[in-house]
Structure 1
Amino acid sequence: MEKYKDVIQKQRLYFSKGETKELSFRISALEKLQKLIKTHEQDIMVALKEDLNKTEFDSYLTEIAVLIEEIKFTLKNIQKWAKPRKVKSSLSTFGSKSFIYPEPYGVTLIISPWNYPFQLAMAPLIGSIAAGNTAIIKPSELTPHTSALMANLIGEYFPEEYISVVEGGIEISDRLLAEKWDYIFFTGSVPVGRIIMQAAAKHLTPVTLELGGKSPAIVHEDAHLTHAAKRLVWGKFVNAGQTCVAPDYTYVHSNIKELFIAEVKKAIKDIYTSDPMETGNFTKIVSDKHFHRLTAFLNNGQLEYGGRTDTEKRMIEPTILNDISWSDPIMEDEIFGPILPILEYSDLDSIIMKIKDRPKPLALYLFTESDKVQEAVLKHISFGGGCINDTVLHLSSPHLPFGGVGDSGMGAYHGKGSFDIFSHEKSMLKQSTKFDLPFRYPSEKALNTIKKLIK
């Protein structure tokens, strides 16, 4: 028997014993995970440097700090979340009391991506633990140092019948998906998300799909240009644009387009210096395949800034492409790299319609001081989540469930959202035995009584 099959069986048996459902056990496990992260901060950052050339600042901010905050928030609230809650009873259930019992699904599979390889494996694990499940994590083979570190650390802190990491490539993912799971959590691309859902359908397994898509940014003519440019540059080029909620393209109002581009150039130099590849502090592209896919876009439109590449280091400097149209290849799919296409508009309603004609994006960013413009965009465009006058930061808040809609995914997590998606809400009615209402049983008198009550 292959090892992962043995681990699945062990986890199923372990879950059946009920230990993971005990609140004290869940709290202890979360504290262990917190200790794992804090104790091995430096090891995590070294692995991320090896895999993606991430700076210590980016690694700590985007991969470690967000997890520590998430665990703290979960530990603070888990007793309230896990407690059965009383709800109102209806007229037809007079005399009863109604409750909702959150219960874990069982053995869960977490398939995590390469772009934030530590954070996007551990964040859903927090929810799985909090809800009382066991978990098997399948990290990406494209970030081998981080994957190996996670496997070693999880193996050191947790028994495999509770939490385990299974390393390997696509063939291992396929084999895992052929097994029966109680819940699957996947973060990755839209095409692979469809494969996950097909596999889950064979066993009617519930899923959360955190996908992606072309997330737009809109810079209206009344935007605070300096703030808009700096926040857009940070959100776009952090992790070399390899972020599922990165602004994929930017619509800029024609009246301020040139001024805005000048501010973007200045912001790139301020944040990343005039030669980020030379300093060695810019994240690299994860693989040769992705690198060559991205460099093919550099002849689209008009090169406004950047465009230099280093094949050996797999680096592309922050790049702006101007005069882009929807017919350019770069606009066909999610870019997932440090290239920002700029499109121009003069009429807000027209670009709202253009965005609505596309698959629903994971995120949207709007820069404006106008309440009317904000209302128009929020009312008419469907998207997973986003920011007004900022980028990306919405996903860092445990108070804001994060997830997509339509092609950009299903299900939302972070904070209580993580607990909820890994929990089944079991509804229970407790009826009184002190009396028995006669009109619940069929008779003409009972029917007349019910009709009077309903009216």
Structure 2
Amino acid sequence: MTDIENLFARHKTCVAHRRVHFDLAARRDTLRRLKHAVHTREDAIIAALAADFGKHPAEVRLTEILPVYQEINHALRHLSRWMRPKRVMPGLTMIGTSARLRPTPKGVALVIAPWNFPFNLALGPLVSALAAGCSAIVKPSEMTPATSTLIAEMIADNFDPELVAVVQGGPDVANALLAQPFDHIFFTGSPAVGKIVMAAAAKTLASVTLELGGKSPVIVGPDADIAKAAKWIVWGRFFNAGQTCVAPDHAYVHADVHDEFVAALYAQIAKMYAGNAALAKIINARHWDRITALIEDAKAKGATVIGDTDRESRRIMPTIVTGAAPDMEIMKEEIFGPVLPILSYDDLDSVLGQINDAPHPLALYVFGGKSLADQVTAATTSGSVGVNLTILPFIHPNLPFGGIGNSGMGAAHGKHGFDAFSHMRPLLRNRFIPLPLIFPPYTATVEKLVKFVVRFVRR
């Protein structure tokens, strides 16, 4: 038996005991321990992400640490209500019964975290798993070794390995984990790898939550507040060097405000990112080469590109691509970098057609009045919609975060994350249901009763 098989077997052995003893108090205790572990290591978290990414400490606090605290605090505040069985009304044929839906832990969960927010997206799903009463094995990204090592040490210092364990390694380790019959798999990453995860889950019939990505478009209408739109789009596109699954990927800008909007973008970039101090690195040289190849392809096909790159430091300055066209690779592939293509439009229906012809995005952003926002929302499908803002649908504790189709499956955060790791188990009790009156044998009296019941229900 391999180490991974042995670890999974130990988790599975503890499932029955945990269902009985992992009550509200025990779950709250694990969440408080996790919160304390984060609190006592804030400086180490900042240092690890600086080593892996060159992230600014303020950005680490805002995008990696703060969301974990919010998830924990939200769960602690609402867990009692989430765990409470919910009464279900009986319906006509079930009169004489009482019904409840009781949230029960699915069992042993696997959390596979990505590299772009390696701390937040490893511990956020873990909070939901622990709140739901599951045990979890966490596989952090091998592309962020400093952060992954820190997570492993933090978990080992605070939890029994049969409750929470961290397994480090590359694709071979991920494949070995996916071969185990987990009860639920929570994966955050690319659609391509998401298909592999879903195929592996099918072999053991594990349920899955897939948080994927895609090209999230922005529409800037003629009535938009241009200064506000530029500020939100620059922030949403370029923090974490654009390596964000819900970042605005490209912007459709009405021709009447195109030039004003582009000028406002440059002004905001100069204000937010002068001197590179707030700009994170590209994760590795391979991704730097991929992003710069997209830029060069756009240039070769006639786009105007403004932005500097430096391979040695793995930095790409915030880059604006004007004159972008559908035949450019930058419009076909998720950019996942600090590059924003701008497309001018006159006809909104044409833009909506392009969005609907592409895979469903994880997020869609609209800048303009209510009429424009309502029209775009009614005519498109996406994981979420943000109106006159970016990124924040991901952060809202009471909104489900998740994609649809190519951008994901299932939902995360708050109650929705709790539900993802829970089975809503029906419990039906017989109090005085008269159904035995129509049990066989089917005498003439029974037949009359059956006919009466059917006529009564169909009315």
Fold-level similarity (TM above 0.5): yes
Structure 2 distance, partners of 1:187, 1:71, is: 19
CA distance in 2 between partners of 1:434 and 1:416 (Å)? 34
1:386 corresponds to? 385
1:166 matched to 2:167? The reply is: yes
Q: Distance in 1 between matches of 2:318 and 2:260?
A: 18
Write out per-residue CA displacement over residues 44-63 of structure 1, whole angstroms, 9 at most, x where no aligned residue.
11101100111111000000
**1:68 alignment partner in structure 2:** 69
Q: What are the equivalent positions in structure 2 for 1:280-429 lying under 5 Å apart?
A: 281-299=278-296, 300-301=298-299, 304=304, 306-369=306-369, 371-429=370-428
Quick one: which amino acid aligns to residue 373 of structure 2? Answer: Q
Give how far 1:180 is off: 1.0
Amino acid paired to 2:453: I
CA deviation map 1:381-437 (0-9, x unaligned): 000013100000111111111000010000011110010000000111111158666
1:452 Cα deviation from its structure 2 partner: 3.5
The letter for the 1-side match of 2:293 is A
Identity of aligned pairs, percent?
A: 41
Deviation at 1:440, TM superposition (A): 5.7
**Aligned position for 1:242:** 243
Deviations 1:280-310 (A, max 9, x none): x410011111010001122214665642111
Pick closer, same or farther for the CA change 1:168–1:434 going to 2, 3 Å.
Answer: closer
- Contact 2:111–2:185, Cα closer than 8 Å, also in 1: yes
Count of residue correspondences = 450
In structure 2, C-alpha distance between the alignment counterparts of 1:42 and 1:315, rounded to whole Å: 24
What is the distance in 2 between the residues matched to 1:289 and 1:386? Answer: 32
Residue 147 in 1 paired to residue 148 in 2? Answer: yes
- Counterpart Cα distance in 1 of 2:227 and 2:28: 44
CA drift at 1:439: 3.9
Q: Secondary structure at the match of 2:241?
A: helix
- Paired residue type of 1:233: V
Q: How many angstroms apart in 1 are the aligned matches of 2:66 and 2:54?
A: 18
Helix, strand or coil at the partner of 1:150: helix
Contact conserved, 1:235 with 1:246, CA < 8 A, in 2?
A: yes
**Gaps spanning 5+ residues in structure 1: where?**
none
Aligned counterparts of 1:199 and 1:141: Cα–Cα separation in 2: 20
Q: Quote how far apart the aligned CAs of 1:451 are.
A: 2.7
Match for residue 2 of structure 1? 2
Alpha-carbon shift at residue 68 of structure 1 (Å) = 0.6
CA distance in 2, matches of 1:304, 1:386: 29
Whole-Å separation in 2 of the counterparts to 1:374 and 1:434 = 51
How far residue 133 of structure 1 moved from its aligned partner, in angstroms, is 0.3
The CA distance in 2 between the partners of 1:192 and 1:108, in whole Å, is 18
The 1:20/1:240 distance shift into structure 2, 3 A limit, reads: farther
- For residue 354 of structure 1, report the CA deviation from its aligned partner: 0.8
Counterpart of 1:350, as a letter, is S
Q: Is the 8 A contact 1:21 1:104 kept in 2?
A: no
Q: How does 1:120-199 map to 2 (within 5 A)?
A: 120-199=121-200
* CA distance in 2: counterparts of 1:207 and 1:105, whole angstroms: 11
Work out whether residues 211 and 403 of structure 2, in 8 Å CA contact, stay in contact via their aligned partners in 1. Answer: yes
Aligned to 1:257: 258
* In structure 2, distance between residues paired with 1:2 and 1:167: 15
Q: Is the 8 A contact 1:20 1:133 kept in 2?
A: no
In structure 2, how many angstroms separate the alpha carbons of the residues matched to 1:305 and 1:451? 71
- Deviation, 1:448, is 2.4
Matches of 1:334 and 1:20, distance apart in 2: 45
Query: 1:169, CA displacement in angstroms?
Result: 0.5
C-alpha separation in 2, matches of 1:263 and 1:20: 58
CA drift of 1:21 comes to 3.1
Provide the C-alpha distance between the structure 1 equivalents of 2:267 and 2:21, rounded to a whole number of angstroms: 52
- Contact kept in structure 1, 2:304 and 2:323, CA below 8 Å: no
Q: Structure 1's 437 and 91: CA in aligned 2 closer, same or farther, altered over 3 A? A: farther
**SS of structure 2 residue aligned to 1:256:** helix
Aligned to 1:28: 29
Distance in 1 (alpha carbons) for counterparts of 2:174 and 2:15: 23
Letter in 2 for 1:330: I
Residue deviations 1:116-153 (CA, integer Å, cap 9, x gap): 00000001001100000000000100000000000000
Aligned letter for 1:446? L
Q: CA distance change for structure 1 residues 251 and 205 in 2, over 3 Å: closer, same or farther?
A: same
Q: Which whole-Å CA distance do the structure 1 matches of 2:433 and 2:200 have between them?
A: 50
Deviates more, 1:441-450 or 1:412-421: 441-450
Amino acid in the other structure paired with 1:413? A
Partner of 1:402, secondary structure, is coil
SS of equivalent residue, structure 1 residue 10: helix
2:352–2:380 CA contact under 8 A, matched in 1:
yes
Q: Distance in 1 between matches of 2:168 and 2:321?
A: 38
Distance 1:313 1:3 in 2: 38
Kindly provide the amino acid, as one letter, of the partner of residue 291 in structure 2: L
Normalised TM-score (structure 1): 0.96
2:302 paired with 1:269 = no
SS at match of 2:256: coil
Paired residues for 1:201-212 under 5 Å:
201-212=202-213
Distance 1:449 1:238 in 2: 67
| Residues in 1 aligned to 2:454 and 2:59: alpha-carbon distance in whole angstroms | 65
Cα 1:157–1:347 shift into 2, 3 Å: same
- Residue of structure 2 equivalent to 1:50: 51
- Amino acid across the alignment from 1:42: D
Contact 1:439 / 1:450 at 8 angstroms: preserved in 2? Answer: no
Superposed CA RMSD: 1.4
1:236 maps to a residue whose letter is: R
CA distance, structure 2, for counterparts of residue 22 and residue 72 of structure 1: 18
Matched, 1:228 2:229: yes
| Secondary structure of 1:330's aligned partner | helix
Shift, 1:31, TM fit: 0.6
Cα deviation per residue 1:219-271 (whole Å; 9 max; x = unaligned)? 11110000100110000000000000000000000111000000000000111
Larger mean CA deviation between 427-436 and 373-382 belongs to 427-436
SS for the counterpart of 1:412 is coil
C-alpha spacing 1:438/1:404, structure 2 compared with 1 (3 Å): same
1:412 is matched by which residue type in structure 2? A
